[in-house]
């Protein structure tokens, strides 16, 4: 990206950030206590990181802690995602949003990974819950998942709790690289110039 393109992109991100903060549909999404809210925060965090807006990132970190309390149960489950028509899909997708948000916040020194809410809710506990329960919820043909989508979440669990027992770890020979549209690490990340 040349200097002109970079400035045009920064301007567009500023406009989009303003839309996220004011448009009725975006404001409604920001209040959702499911994957919509997590991905709203993730979009804002990505923009703030690229624009080097530390105040916005700090606010997103505070908001993420509040959302974590509302979205992750003390046992680590995600009750709102489990009540949906495709519980495996929504649980995996939501946790992929959470882990990407935690990764962005960690890049500026905000450790969402180890945050513990009032009743013990933690992102790492949610990953433990996923590892223990991914096969325990009946899946319909619409809810079948690519097993490779689980592996990046289990790797995040291993990184943030080295004593975690990762199911079938020995069977994993390579970490797949997902298309950036999937939002699943590992993937390229924008870096500020």
Give 63's pLDDT tier (boundaries 50, 70, 90): very high
Q: What fold characterizes domain 32-182?
A: Glycosyltransferase (1.50.10)
12 vs 187, which has greater pLDDT? 12
Summarised one tens digit per residue, pLDDT across range 87-106 is: 888 898 899 999 999 999 99
Cβ neighbors of 47 (< 8 A, separation 6 or more) are 13, 16, 17, 20, 53, 56
Q: Are 23 and 75 a contacting pair, CB within 8 Å? A: no
Summarised one tens digit per residue, pLDDT across range 110-164 is: 999 999 998 889 999 999 999 888 766 555 554 566 667 788 888 888 888 888 8
Domain positions in the chain are 32-182
Q: Which position has the token pair 């080295």?
A: 162
**169-113-148-184 Cα dihedral, nearest 10 degrees:** -150
- Mean pLDDT, rounded, for 80-87: 88
Instruction: Give the closest residue to 95 by CA, choosing from 77, 83, 118.
Output: 77
Structure-token pair, residue 33: 């206590």
């Amino acid at each position: 990206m040349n200097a002109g393109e970079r400035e045009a992109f920064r301007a567009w991100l500023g406009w989009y950030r303003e839309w996220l903060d004011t448009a009725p549909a975006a404001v409604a999404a920001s209040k959702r206590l499911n994957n919509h809210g997590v991905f709203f925060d993730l979009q804002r965090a990505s923009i703030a990181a690229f624009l080097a807006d530390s105040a916005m990132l700090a606010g997103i970190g505070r908001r993420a802690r509040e959302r974590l309390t509302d979205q992750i149960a003390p046992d680590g489950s995600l009750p709102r995602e489990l009540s949906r028509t495709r519980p495996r899909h929504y649980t995996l997708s939501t946790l992929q949003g959470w882990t990407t948000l935690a990764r962005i916040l960690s890049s500026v020194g905000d450790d969402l990974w180890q945050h513990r809410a009032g009743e013990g809710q933690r992102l790492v506990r949610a990953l433990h819950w996923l590892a223990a329960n991914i096969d325990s919820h009946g899946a319909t043909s619409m809810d079948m998942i690519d097993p490779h989508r689980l592996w990046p979440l289990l790797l995040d669990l291993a990184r943030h709790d080295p004593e975690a027992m990762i199911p079938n770890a020995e069977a994993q020979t390579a970490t797949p690289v997902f298309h950036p549209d999937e939002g699943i690490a590992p993937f390229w990340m924008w870096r500020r110039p």
